[in-house]
Amino acid sequence: MRLRIERIGAQGDGIAQTGDGPIFVPFTLAGDEIDAWLEPGPRGTIRAQMEGLITPGPGRQDAPCRHHGQCGGCSLQHLDADLYARWVADRVQMAMAQHGLGDCPMAPPQISPPSSRRRLSLKAMRTSRGVLLGFAMRQSHHLVDVRQCPVARPSLVALFKPLRALLHDLMPLRAASVISLTEADNGIDMVIDGGIAPGLSMREALAAFAQSRDIASLHVMEDGLCDPVAVNRRVEMVFDGIPVPLPPGGFIQATAEGEAALRALMLEWLEGAQNCVDLFAGIGTFSFPLARRARVLAVEGARTALDALQSGVNKASHLKGLTALHRDLFRRPLSAAELAPFDGLIIDPPRAGAVAQMGEIAKSGVRTVVAFSCNPNSFARDARILVDGGYQLCQISPVDQFLWSPHVELAALFTKS
């Protein structure tokens, strides 16, 4: 069937409108004229695979990665830089429009460059032909054996080949595993989840690997427990000059560039705030730089993250006004009454957003709210709650840390007078 693509949707697929409804075609863009074969998609949608590109639309580029089209990690490498930046902004704007907030002021997207992603979650599988290591194909469990990755830091990509060789010796046939790699500020944290059950000789092999590849810490998850197999040094992040331990597999912003962009916006928007609260604070990415000039209450639900943050606080004798609070903010959000002392607030929830907490903020009198989100859909829903509670949405700044993927992050400023 010949199709003309009209736009790119929220999941990164090109969309052709037909009499039978929209048809979703991966790896296409607006203006492409293509030959395609149709197939049923999930939930009654119609999908198609491009068979031939008759006329390319404007803004098409050659994908920089040889796995593009197969690997499910990226779906937008065929967009040139200008078109990709426009798509990021449109993606956020479309989500906002669904909640009646489509006219909010939007800054140009800040996009992390290639080779900057510092955390990866790789899948590994031992087959009769060797170990496959990489990412799942889109909407499939099929694993693509990845040899290059233009979005990840070269230090992480350099581990693919030796990791494959290591796992070949350790994994039984048909075993599957997830390998999390995070490059913190003083080295790489590796967590192997599933697929191996390390006895003494395996531990020795893993420790030798960690030593030879300068892996700072290597843990194996077994029965829900995190087993430290080789800890050459404590993995740390440095926030505003303060070293903070990173728990195994702990959360950091996906790129240093993205973290810097979010931090700069936060410090600008909270200028003048004296008493701030940082909700979903993690290990203190935003609390530490803000605590240099304001009192900060950091609230976090993961005990390991909070302990790490507290350890940073203990080392920073000059930070008299940074305190940490352990709290499940889904079950027990900070109430409007508890928020009364604060004039500045940061909120950075997981992908699902934070409906209950936003409801309490909406009722509060906190003057400035800085919201970070890795999901424009849940963010738009939560933003509506704040706007209905009397907040003005002053600006949205897309900050894209997942280059060429449909995952878009953003920062937003809300104020109440």
Ligand X SMILES: C[S@@+](CC[C@H](N)C(=O)[O-])C[C@H]1O[C@@H](n2cnc3c(N)ncnc32)[C@H](O)[C@@H]1O
Binding residues for S-adenosyl-L-methionine: 253, 280, 300, 348
Q: Give the neighbor-by-neighbor strand order of the sheet with 176-184.
A: 143-145, 130-136, 119-127, 176-184, 187-193, 215-222, 225-231
Integer Cα distance of 400 and 258 in angstroms: 7
Q: Choose between 251 and 336: whose C-beta lies nearer to ligand X.
A: 251
Q: How far is the CB of 195 from ligand X (least distance, A)?
A: 25
Q: Choose between 248 and 301: whose C-beta lies nearer to ligand X.
A: 301
Q: How far is the CB of 68 from ligand X (least distance, A)?
A: 27
The Cβ of residue 10 has, within 10 Å, a number of other Cβ atoms equal to 15
Integer Cα distance of 307 and 275 in angstroms: 22
Residue with tokens 């928020």, as numbered in its chain: 339
What torsion do the CA atoms of 395, 401, 402, 406 make, to the nearest 10 degrees?
A: 0
Q: Choose between 288 and 391: whose C-beta lies nearer to ligand X.
A: 288
Residue 203 identity (one-letter amino acid): R
Catalytic residue among 71, 74, 374, 394: 374
Q: How far is the CB of 305 from ligand X (least distance, A)?
A: 5
Catalytic residue list contains 374: yes
CB 194 within 8 A of CB 126: no
Q: How far is the CB of 287 from ligand X (least distance, A)?
A: 8
Residues in touch with ligand X (CB under 6 A): 251-253, 280-282, 285-286, 300-302, 305, 328-330, 348-350
Bin 267: left if φ > 0, else alpha if -120 < ψ < 50, else beta: alpha
Integer Cα distance of 360 and 118 in angstroms: 34
Q: Choose between 105 and 241: whose C-beta lies nearer to ligand X.
A: 241
Which residues carry out catalysis?
Answer: 374
